[in-house]
Every structure is written in C-alpha cells, then in structure tokens.
Structure 1
Amino acid sequence: MSRIDDLIQELSPGGVEFKALGDLGTFIRGNGLQKSDLTDEGFPAIHYGQVHTHYGTWATETISFTSPDFAAKLRKAEPGDLVIATTSEDDQAVGKAVAWLGEAATAVSGDAFIYHHSLDPKYVSYFFQSQQFQGQKMRSITGAKVRRISGDSLAKIRIPVPPVEVQREIARVLDSFSALEMELETALKTELEARRIQRSHYWNALLTPSTSWRRTTLGQIAEVFDGPHATPRKTATGPWYLSISSLENGRFNLASSAHIGEDQYDTWVRRIAPRLGDTMFSYETRLGQAAYWDRDEPAALGRRMGLLRPNKSEVDPRFLTLVYLGPEFQSLIRSKTVSGATVDRIPIANMASWPISIPSIPEQRRIVSVLDNFDALVNDLSSSLPAELTARRIQYEYYRDKLLTFEEAEV
C-alpha cells in the first residue's frame, strides 16, 4: 500500500476528486438476448444471470455465445466496458458488475447495463464491490420480489477518481489479493478431498474381511425388526420420527427428521422402540443406507425403516453399523435386492439368515476408533474450510474498501 500512498502523494497531493458515474461514462441497456438464445459457439454473449452465477471482477472470455446473425441485432459491450446485472431477488447482488476485457465485443442481454466509461476497467469493477458503492446503491433499489436499479440511479453514484496510475495500482493489488484467496480455497479443498480419499481407502481396507474374521449370520449377532408400514401425523415437537431421509453416512441427520406427538408414540413403537446403540436401515428405496442411533431419547421408526439390535457379546454396536455399510455386506444387499413395480426393496423377513463376517470384539473396537478418527478429521476440515474462507474474505474486503477510500479534494 506504500506504493499507492506514494503515487497519491506525488500525483494528487490535495486529495482525490469524486465524480458521478454518469459524468464519466454512459449506461446503455442490453437487449433481446434470452437464455434460449445462448449456444456453445458463435458470437460471445453475456446473459445477466451469468454475471451473478459465473463471472468475477473481470473476464476475458465468455462461457456462452449466440449466433452471429442474432448478435448483429444486439447491443454490445466493447473491451473495457462494464456489464452490470441490474436485477436480483437479493439487494446485495443488484448492480453486480464484471469488467469485459476480451479482445472483441460481446453481446449483452436485457436486465443488464453496459457502462462505457473513461476509468480503468478493473478499478471501477472493484469499486462496484465496495461499501461505498453498496451504501449509495441501496437508496435507489426499487421493486418488491424482484429488486432492480435504474441507469439514472447508477449514473448519480459518486466514485473517487484518482490518477489512472493509482487506479491501475489498486487494481493490481486487489487482483493479487483475489489470487491469494483463490489459492487458499483451492489448497483447502484439495486437502479435504485428499482426506476423503484417504478415509475411503481405510474404510474399504478395514471393513474388507480377512481370513481371521469369523463367518456367521446377521441373526447371530443382532435381532432384526421391521418398522411400521404407514406414516404418522408429524409434529414440531415430541419423540423423534426417524425416516429414511434422516440416514446420512452412518449417522442420523436430525435436521431432516421430524417428530411425532406423545399421544401417537405408544402406538408407533408397538413393534419396536429404537434405543441407544441400535442400527437403523432402509429396506425400501435408499437401499444400503444405515445409521447408528447415539441418543438416549424417545424415537420411532419411519415407514420403510428396519432396526438391528446388536448382541453385545458378539458385536460392538458401532461396528455393526460400519460392517453393514462395509463393502462385503453392501455387495450382499445388492445381490438380495428385489425389483418392484414402484420401488426396489430387500426382503427384511429373511435378513436374519444372511451371512456376515466379523473380527474379534477388540479388533472391532480398534476399527471403530480408527474410522471415527478419520471422520473427525474430515468433519473438522469440512467445518473449518468455510470458516477460514470467510475470515480471509472479510480480510480481503477490509483492505479493498481501505484501498478505495480517499480524502476528497476541495473543489
């Protein structure tokens, strides 16, 4: 930043002039280009929705095109112009801009303005991300569900106009910040994927039976229960209602679970009431999914859900869930699947006789510990990744706004 300070001191010692965007350029509305007009080749084209979903601060290539004949009828952004999305359901996204830095013109859709101006393209595009711009813009947004801003309103927004050398240096610094942020995101995602691959490798290796494992049947190590064949009236509170949509990677995702009323509970658990240490699984649709119930709380099985109650002298409760999800038993499930007219299912009445292989209980507990450690590592990375990226983004936004803040020159 000392380089920028030096340039300002040298080129603009009395402060920086602020001007309205309309005094520095013109806003031209795009026209006619719909999503259905976009193609994979032809004349470069930018649809306003892509400004929200794909483009960053600047772009040298488009992701879409349109036919040259159709493009001849459309308004176009020239290299150096901004393409500005003028509508959104989110106030923050109204006025999102991308500087077009391609070698030739690009067609632009309606609900977007082309800003043809005399500023450094990257500098003005970064300004459109700043709190200075957002604060001025918010006063001019109109509309109910779909929020929009007019060209006249955009033209009135004031922007600091330092010498072009300063504009370019600010853009260079902010480009470097953006690149560092992207490098961090890539590195963190690469690390997370590496840990997931490592976990998958150990999962398959540890749950593939060896010659020391004992061959038995599912009924020898657990009781098999069928759940209710109907759907209850769901409530906002009360005992948990555990449906097949709750099963997620060997655990229950209770954000996808509902409740049933206390008045229904006794009826709904007449066959079986889940308890701490049980494994529940889907026997129709989502075949192969299972989860360990780790709560000592009232719960009821949903439709198409079965339950395994472990014989603790034979199998560690957590290991029962893991071996159910392991490669050998999953292969058995696929071989036993019955294709029905509406849904596929497994014959739960015969499951007790299905063969299954298990190691000694100490080895079961060791496997559970190793895989739990991998799960914890992956989950920690999954939760820390967005937190780290958010922290860096806040840091980046702070420096961006600081770089775009100037002492205004007296006129």
Structure 2
Amino acid sequence: MVPNGWENVLLGEVFDFRNGINADKSQYGQGVKFVNVMDVFGNNILTEPKIIGRISISDKKLDDNRLEYGDVLFNRTSETFDEIAMSAVYLDDADATFGGFVIRGRPLTNNLDPKYTVYAFQDSNFRKQVIKLGQGAVRANIGQKDLVKVELLVPPFSEQQKIAKILSTWDKAISTTERLIENSTQQKKALMQQLLTGKKRLLDESGKRFDGEWSSVLLGDISHITTGSSNREDSSLTGEYAFFDRSIDVRTSGIFLFDAEAVIVGGEGQDFVPKYFEGKFDLHQRTYAIMDFENAYGKFLFYYIGYYRHYFLSQAVGSTVKSLRLPMFQKMPINLPSVKEQQKIATVLTNADKEIELLEQQLADLQQEKKALMQVLLTGKKRILIDG
C-alpha cells in the first residue's frame, strides 16, 4: 500500500543509466578523479576528495562521462548477490568520472532530493529487488536493463528533505563515534608500545614510579603450554563450556579438559591474535593454551603476546597454511617486570579496552537505531510533520 501523497515509480522513469569507462592500464594514475567499485562500497556519499583513483582521458570522453551533483553510482558486479547495486551519491560539483564496473544513474526530474537518495537506495525493499534481479554463476552481476525495472517509493519533496535531515543526524553521530573508536584504538596502541617495552613506567601503590630491571625469560620457562587433543566437529554456540577452535571461541556441551586462567593462541592458519580466558574450556588439537604462570600475571602476558605476535608470524612454518608448533611457543623471549608492575600495566590496558568496548556498543546501538528509523521513514509507516 502506497502512503498518502507518496508515489511508486520505476527507476527507469526517473533515472537515465550509463555504464562507465573501460580504460587501458596506462591511463590510470593521473588525470581526473575516477570512481571505482571500492569507492562505491566505501561511501554512501561521494565527494571529489574521497575518490582515490585517477584516469587520463580526453576532454570529449570526460564530457560524455562527467559526474554531476546528485548522480547515483551503483556497482555492477560483486562476489555475492547481497552486495550488487550498492550505491553512492555524488554530492560535489568538481570534475570526476567513473569506471566500467559502475553504473551511473542521472536523475531525469527535480522530484528527488539528492540527499534523500543517499538513504532511499539503502532501503530493504530496494535491496530485495536488486538482489532478486542479480545474475551470474561465478560472480553476481546486475545491468541497466535490470535497474530500470526496480520500484522506488518516493515521498513528497519536502518530506524527503525532512527524512534526509533526520537520518543524516544519525550518520553524524555514527561518524563521531567511529572517530572516537579510532582515536581510542590509536591511544591504546601507543600505550602498549610505551608500557610493554618499559619506555614508560607507571606509579606503584605508594605513588613512586616503578624502577626495577626487567627479567629476560622464555615463555616456556614461566608457563605451562599445551594443545588440545580434540578434532571434534560437534561444537556449537549453545554449549555450556568454551571450546577454542584455532583461537575462535565456540561452545561445547562435552567434557572440558581445563579449568584455568589462560592465554589462547590459534596455532594454524591464523594471524595468531591471542585471547584471554578464565574458566572451564577445551581446545582443538591445533590450538594452544598458555597457563599455570610462574612469577607472571596472565593478563599482562595476554597483552605482551598480542603486542609481540610478530614473533609468531616470523616463526610460523608452511608454504600454504602457516602453523606453529609447541617449541616455537616455548622459545618465545619475554621481558618481565615485577608482578606488581605487570598487574598495573594490565589494569591500564584493560581500562583502555573497556573504553573501546563501550564506544563500540554505543556505535552498534546508533546503527541499530538508524536501521529501525529507516525501516519506518522510508516506507511511510512513520510520517514526518512538515513545517508550514
């Protein structure tokens, strides 16, 4: 049912579609900005500074394929059907053009607010239609002849402007939170570099700065390192106990093997990013648990191993799938401060993690709120009061 005052239109009635430029490799790298598929994937709104690539073409070619303010760009092809016809709207007047794997939609009327179209093509109903029209066995594809058949629900222009303004407010909040996460992540990296190398010493309980020498040891000398014996396939997310499958935490209802504080590292086919865990767990036979620490604090070792995981990357063997064996873990060099300083360092880094986790939850909440708003605003289920 079409909401009162809205209309259902075919894209072919309101857009003129055109495929982009297929150029020789020698033309890339200089000239006018050139939109490719990744630009479309990475941005709902495109402006000239956001476009990475350049292409050298004639003035005639540019005139025929120039982007204008309000043009909508769709990707023609993707690895999956879920990602075909993703869109980005060009909101700039600077010269730019677009590539052969991109379709440009140019509005034929003034009835669509460009800022509204940023959101209109994210609507679930639009996405369902284009996914259904996708073709291809190896890669998913969609063409102009398919896009012209897609229906778009269009509110009155003044309502479009209101909807775009509301949703852009959420976008600004999302962007702000993303920047805060990036800043906090960079700050944590800087903290790790300072604290885990001893370049920065924290204050002890009395307010004095730690100053003792760090001890050089091997990981195998200060912990017990073991791998699992299970190659089970029956693990699920609904079990009672943790089961670490190559550093991925799933759940198992089977009998657990360990009950301990441990640093878990996948030993095969991973980037060897560690996990910290306390409690009852089991291990895959290619996953390692580092536990039973001696003169070492588990959470400190978790951060230390994560910071110095390039050691594992350098020690891993295998031409196709990189893997680690027990001796490689045992021989990892570790520099340890006192246990009290380890605990202090771990506390500081844990607090940094909590701050990032809080921001990530805020981001997830904002994204969910925006998604819920789009579902009601872009379908007319919730109407906007228009001033005047």
Q: Fold conserved (TM > 0.5)?
A: yes
Aligned pair partner of 2:34 in 45, 48, 61: 45
Secondary structure of 1:42's counterpart equals strand
Match of 2:85 in 1: 95
1:284-336 CA deviation, whole Å, 9 max, x = no partner? xxxxx99999778898999xx9x99876xxx35659959987x9xx9xxx9xx
Match of 2:16 in 1: 26
For residues 295 and 382 of structure 1, the distance between their equivalents in structure 2, rounded to whole angstroms, comes to: 24
CA 1:279–1:67: 2 relative to 1, 3 Å: closer
For residues 158 and 39 of structure 2, the distance between their equivalents in structure 1, rounded to whole angstroms, comes to: 31
- Cα displacement (A) at 1:402: 2.5
Q: Does 1:57 align with 2:45?
A: yes
Secondary structure of 1:41's counterpart equals strand
For residues 114 and 108 of structure 1, the distance between their equivalents in structure 2, rounded to whole angstroms, comes to: 8
Q: Does 1:67 align with 2:41?
A: no
Letter in 1 for 2:118: S
Q: Does 1:76 align with 2:62?
A: no
Aligned 8 A contact 1:120 1:168 in 2? yes
Match of 2:120 in 1: 127
Secondary structure of 1:107's counterpart equals strand
Aligned 8 A contact 1:83 1:114 in 2? yes
- Cα displacement (A) at 1:186: 1.1
Q: Does 1:136 align with 2:124?
A: no
Q: Does 1:187 align with 2:177?
A: no
Letter in 2 for 1:152: K
For residues 355 and 50 of structure 1, the distance between their equivalents in structure 2, rounded to whole angstroms, comes to: 43
1:109-158 CA deviation, whole Å, 9 max, x = no partner? 22221111123222223211112311322321222231122212211222
Match of 1:9 in 2: none
For residues 112 and 356 of structure 1, the distance between their equivalents in structure 2, rounded to whole angstroms, comes to: 53
- Deviation larger for 178-187 or 115-124: 115-124
Match of 2:144 in 1: 151
Q: Does 1:377 align with 2:351?
A: yes
- Cα displacement (A) at 1:18: 1.9
1:256-284 CA deviation, whole Å, 9 max, x = no partner? 369xxxxxxxxxxxxxxx99789999xxx
CA 1:257–1:24: 2 relative to 1, 3 Å: closer
Match of 1:399 in 2: 373
Letter in 2 for 1:169: K
Aligned 8 A contact 1:225 1:308 in 2? yes
Match of 2:106 in 1: 116
- In the alignment, structure 2 segments of 5+ residues that lack a partner are 204-208, 234-242, 249-257, 266-272, 312-326, 382-388
Match runs of 1:350-361 below 5 Å: 359=338
Aligned pair partner of 1:160 in 122, 130, 153: 153
- Cα displacement (A) at 1:38: 6.4
For residues 14 and 63 of structure 2, the distance between their equivalents in structure 1, rounded to whole angstroms, comes to: 24
Rg comparison, structure with higher value: 1
For residues 136 and 16 of structure 2, the distance between their equivalents in structure 1, rounded to whole angstroms, comes to: 23
CA 1:367–1:63: 2 relative to 1, 3 Å: same
For residues 155 and 69 of structure 1, the distance between their equivalents in structure 2, rounded to whole angstroms, comes to: 30
CA 1:297–1:115: 2 relative to 1, 3 Å: closer
Secondary structure of 1:156's counterpart equals coil
Judging by fraction of residues, say which structure has more helix: 1
Letter in 2 for 1:191: S
1:243-263 CA deviation, whole Å, 9 max, x = no partner? xxxxxxxxxx955369xxxxx
- The normalised TM-score by structure 2 is 0.63
- Cα displacement (A) at 1:91: 2.6
**RMSD of the alignment, in Å?**
5.4
For residues 357 and 75 of structure 2, the distance between their equivalents in structure 1, rounded to whole angstroms, comes to: 32
CA 1:37–1:404: 2 relative to 1, 3 Å: farther
Percent identical across equivalent pairs? 17
CA 1:300–1:276: 2 relative to 1, 3 Å: farther
CA 1:149–1:197: 2 relative to 1, 3 Å: same
Letter in 2 for 1:130: D
